[in-house]
Amino acid sequence: MRRGGGAVAALVWLAGARLAAAGADEATPPGACFSIPACETECADGFARSCRKLGWIYEKGLGVRADPARAAKYYDRACELGETQACCDLGAMCLEGRGTRADAGDAAALFRRACNRGDGRGCANLALLRMKGKGVSESLPKAVALLKKGAAKGNGRACALLGYLYYTGAGVDRDLEQAVGLFERACGTGYAEGCFNLAQCCEKGAGLPASPARARELYETACAKGEARACSELGRMCLLGIGGPRDPAASLKWFRQGCDGGSPRGCTGLATLHYEGKVVPRDWAEALRLFTKACEGGDENACTGLGVLYERGEGVPADAAKAVMYFRKGCEEGDPAGCTSLGVAILLHGAEAEEAERAVDLLHEACGQGEAAACTWLGSLYLDGAGVPRDLGMAATLFEEGCRGGNALGCSNLGLIYDEGLGVDRDPVKAAAYYLKACDGGDMSGCHNLAAACETGQGVPKDETRALALYHRACAEGEVVSCAVLGMRYAEGRGVNQEGWRAVELLRRACDRGLAKSCSDLGLLYEQGVGVVQSADTAIALYQQGCSGGDARGCSRLGALHVRAGRVETGKKLLAKGCEGGDPRACAELRKLGGTR
């Protein structure tokens, strides 16, 4: 059995988005006249809606070349004639400096005129300026009053903004049920951001019973109305199978739509798909481009993803300093996975005591925020007494938190705790159950340990067929210890047909990945000519590799070869090393040669 470890194993971009505080202005297209000449005639005759329609046509470039200055003139005339929506249109242009000089004060005056005439859109827009202190003095109480007035007029943006204030408790007493009611009203008017925020509440169970299925429907509604963030969240739910069936192909569509619509999280999701290569072909260069775009756009998860690429040298030259920089950025901007990766990177690169202490603090903070991988890493530190006092009980608790949070390695390590009775009563049945959960969650060390349990009948019924299937699965997915076990089975014909060539292939794979014992075992096959052309020189080189890597039998076998070749003193030294490493055959051979062991 072995303890899992290594760097943070996966790109973690799975957190839900935050509620939106302020969305797009809610402008409705004007009706009235049906041709530009007719509109011009009616506008000249003082028909306000026709003037506004002309403004709309020239602002949007509908059938004509867009002309913001001309649009502003028509909106101004319509506003003077009493068309409040035109006052809001012109106010929006004033804010952005399109077709007229940028002047937040003028914009505020136009919104105020519309609001005073009973236009909910004007009230909502003026409230937003009050909240920001833009063009008017900042005043949250006045903003709340304006939003209540706008919401009473049925304006979706006013309802959504007021709902956000009730959700956060800013300027009003926090009231989640009131917030949900306002988001419902905003969504009912067709305001996309209201649907988006309502979906957030449904997914989180904030102010109403949690309903992931309804959240998924609402995200789709908001996405269809042009809310790019909703497209991104819909992609996440489809990818993870939240609120409905898993649909990776659909997640690709929604992530792309979100990214193209300006949502950094959509770009992050798309980058993750390119990184993993399960829905689209693996493309680290494209993952790098998209993570960079999303990180620069303010998505903290993307910054963490960039750190992973630089840490592993995937799509870019490996650069530990850049990896730490991006992990730190992700962490500082609120991504617990970034804090986890930052803490781990600090510990793995030989930090000074003070910095190592900070790394442990980061892991504690991330674990406390529900980052399961952080809990698992902390558990490993407490298990080994690395940077913290050794505490097996704490290790077990942290592995359990990691496992409960969905970190498969946490389940595998918790299985190890019960398997070996580390700080708990030994319980092979519990151990096997946790190994199974780890294996089902994709952790191959869990599959390997479960295979060993099936092989020996510890905690589960003895089942050679199941053990072999698990070893094969784990080996195929990179668990070299399983490859080593299979290699010896094929070499010896134990439970499988004896196939020397396959044994050589499996043991070479494990040796190349740094498993010293497999180098020694492969050396034995070369010494005996099993599955390969017999070669003493290759055997010696492999035994040396195994011995240097800490495998006692590699030292013993190398020593025996030296003795047979007449190099007795060299052989005795190697046999002594093998004996000290725990190989009883080396001790026995050393005694025959007159050694003291």
Question: Do 228 and 257 contact (CB within 8 A), yes or no?
Answer: yes
196: three-class secondary structure by DSSP: helix
User: What angle do helix axes 408-420 and 444-456 make, rounded to 10 degrees?
Assistant: 30
CA gap 410, 464 in Å, rounded: 26
What pLDDT is recorded for position 306? 96
CA gap 8, 308 in Å, rounded: 8
| Percent residues over pLDDT 70 in the chain | 94
Q: DSSP E strands: which ranges in 480-520?
A: none
For the chain, what are the domain ranges? Answer: 36-280, 479-538, 551-597
Q: DSSP E strands: which ranges in 349-417?
A: none
Per-residue exposure over 438-477, b if at least 16 CB sit within 10 Å of its own CB, e if not: bbebebbbbbbbbbbbbbeebbbeeeeebbbebbbbbbee
Length of the chain equals: 597
Helix then strand count (H, E) for the chain reads 32, 0
Question: Do 76 and 62 contact (CB within 8 A), yes or no?
Answer: no
What pLDDT is recorded for position 317? 95
pLDDT higher than 50, residue 9: no
The token pair at 271 is: 């980058």
Q: What is the pLDDT of residues 494-508, one digit of tens each?
A: 999 999 999 999 999
CA gap 182, 163 in Å, rounded: 5
CA gap 539, 487 in Å, rounded: 16
The token pair at 112 is: 């105020």
Place domain 36-280 in its CATH homologous superfamily.
Tetratricopeptide repeat domain (1.25.40.10)
279 backbone φψ class: left, alpha, beta (φ>0; ψ -120 to 50): alpha
Residues 6+ apart with CB under 8 A from 594: none
Q: What is the pLDDT of residues 514-536, one digit of tens each?
A: 999 999 999 999 999 999 999 99
Distance of CA 55 to the CA centre of its chain: 45
Q: Please spell the DSSP secondary structure of 400-422, one letter per residue.
A: HHHHHTT-HHHHHHHHHHHHHTS
Residues 6+ apart with CB under 8 A from 11: 272, 275, 276, 304, 305, 308
**Count of beta carbons in the 10 Å neighbourhood of residue 392:** 16
Q: Please give the span between the terminal C-alpha atoms of the chain, in angstroms, as a whole number.
A: 29
pLDDT band at 8 (very low <50, low <70, confident <90, very high): very low
Output the pTM of the full model: 0.77
The token pair at 558 is: 């190398």
Q: Which of 467, 439, 462, 440 is nearest to 452 (CA)?
A: 467
pLDDT higher than 50, residue 186: yes
CA gap 26, 21 in Å, rounded: 14
What are the two backbone dihedrals, phi and then psi, of residue 155, each rounded to the nearest 5 degrees?
-80, 125
What pLDDT is recorded for position 201? 96
Using the structure block, give the residue that is written with the tokens 């509604």. Answer: 221
CA gap 104, 133 in Å, rounded: 10
What pLDDT is recorded for position 23? 59
The token pair at 577 is: 């090393």
Q: What is the pLDDT of residues 127-152, one digit of tens each?
A: 999 999 999 999 999 999 999 999 99
The token pair at 435 is: 């190994």
Q: What is the pLDDT of residues 315-332, one digit of tens each?
A: 999 999 999 999 999 999
**H-helix or E-strand containing 302?**
helix 300-312
Q: What is the pLDDT of residues 560-581, one digit of tens each?
A: 999 988 899 998 899 899 899 9
Within a 13 Å sphere around the CA of 353, how many CA atoms are in the beta-carbon half?
Answer: 0
| Percent residues over pLDDT 90 in the chain | 86
Q: What is the pLDDT of residues 80-121, one digit of tens each?
A: 999 999 999 999 999 999 999 999 999 999 999 999 999 999
Q: Torsion angle, CA of 350/354/358/361, rounded to 10 degrees?
A: 110
Q: Where are the alpha helices (DSSP H) in 97-211?
A: 104-116, 120-132, 140-152, 156-168, 176-188, 192-204
CA gap 550, 552 in Å, rounded: 6
CA gap 312, 278 in Å, rounded: 19
CA gap 163, 147 in Å, rounded: 10
What pLDDT is recorded for position 356? 83
CATH 1.25.40.10 fits 479-538, yes or no: yes
